[in-house]
Amino acid sequence: MDQTSLTKVFDLLSPRFLLLLPLVFFILRYISSPSSKNQSLPPGPKPWPILGNLLHLGKKPHISMASFATTHGPLISLNLGKQLLVVGSSKRAATEILKSHDRLLSARYVSKAALFESHVLDRIAIVWATQCSDGWKSLRALCRNELFSATAIESQAVLREKKMEEMVEFIGRREGEVVRIGEVVLAIVFNTIANLIFSVDLIGLEDDGAATGLKSLMWRMMKLGATPNIADFYPILGGTDLQGLKRKMAVCANQMFGVWGKHIKERREKHVQDGPRSDFLDVFLANGFEDLQINWVAMELLTAGTDTTATTVEWAMAELLKNKQILEKVSEEIKRETDTNSLKESRISTRCS
């Protein structure tokens, strides 16, 4: 080997070149991986190397995906970095995914920003479980029997009527004042679910800003969970938290757990194994649930049913205020059906059936 050849070899081994080796290795590994080769997948826009279709989504992914469906059909595939995403955008595709093959496709992908690994969530969660395990089925059956069965829902009617009366009285005392309907409804719905679980109100209607703070906390958790996480797109970064999403999620969850944590502690100290069960917390304790699982399931139940209901009511009220004729019609119906001081849920069901 002559002097010129040796010089070229040493140039290749320079520190600058060595620093580039990991990047070269990563690119070669990406190109040669099975996921980057042609597979039996739905059509979709051609992905870029390494980035995949990330740049194709833009700032409004839902609009971009609708555009892709127009071009490629109702079932498309996208590569988000190394993550494969299959999107169904037609009635038939939705039926296949949510009905025909729901057992295979009902699991939820757990982001790297989640507080716990997937195997922990499979043990403690309902909504965030990644598979339909025996533990998940047992927990689901427990919730269905104690909270969502026809008998359970009927037994909760008195509580719902009581909370509705509290809301009406609260709004009535503020006649002529500005009332944030969304916050009031959120507090009422949250307290209704909280009473089913803990037998206590967790938000005081008179506490200015309490519902606002709780709603902001729930929105922050949902926003963090929906924020694109680079660790999800590239598994090689799975052990990192470059965007701080996991840390921020932990702060929010601990604040949420703190809202009802003392009630779990007090009840556990007083709990008798074969004693009467007055709420879902007693059911948790009787079945040997640890505090972590109680906290997590309570958070899932409270967040899943609260904000959506409050937002729907607030939206409906806004639409009624914009349409005076419909508002007058609704007001007349309410006056006609509520000819007494109290309104029973059974009366509404009878009139609406």
The answer to whether 89 and 69 have CB atoms below 8 angstroms apart is yes
Q: Sign of the C-alpha dihedral, residues 186, 188, 193, 194?
A: positive
Distance CA 194, CA 279 (A): 10
Per-residue pLDDT averaged across 55-80, rounded? 91
- Percent pLDDT > 90 in the chain is 37
Per-residue pLDDT averaged across 271-292, rounded? 85
Per-residue model confidence (pLDDT) at position 37? 52
Q: Which helix (H) or strand (E) holds 80?
A: strand 75-80
Phi/psi zone of residue 199: left (φ > 0), alpha (ψ -120 to 50 degrees), beta?
Answer: left
CATH class of 135-322: mainly alpha
Domain boundary assignment for the chain: 1-32, 40-106, 135-322
| Confidence (pTM) | 0.77
Q: Count of alpha carbons within 13 Å of 225, Cβ hemisphere only?
A: 17
Single-letter residue type at 137: K
Residue with the larger pLDDT of the pair 167 and 336: 167
Per-residue model confidence (pLDDT) at position 104? 79
> pLDDT (tens digit, 9 = 90+) per residue, 132-183?
888 889 999 999 999 989 899 888 999 999 999 999 899 999 888 888 888 8
Angle between helices 181-198 and 291-322 (to 10 degrees): 150
Per-residue model confidence (pLDDT) at position 237? 86
Per-residue model confidence (pLDDT) at position 10? 37
Per-residue model confidence (pLDDT) at position 24? 53
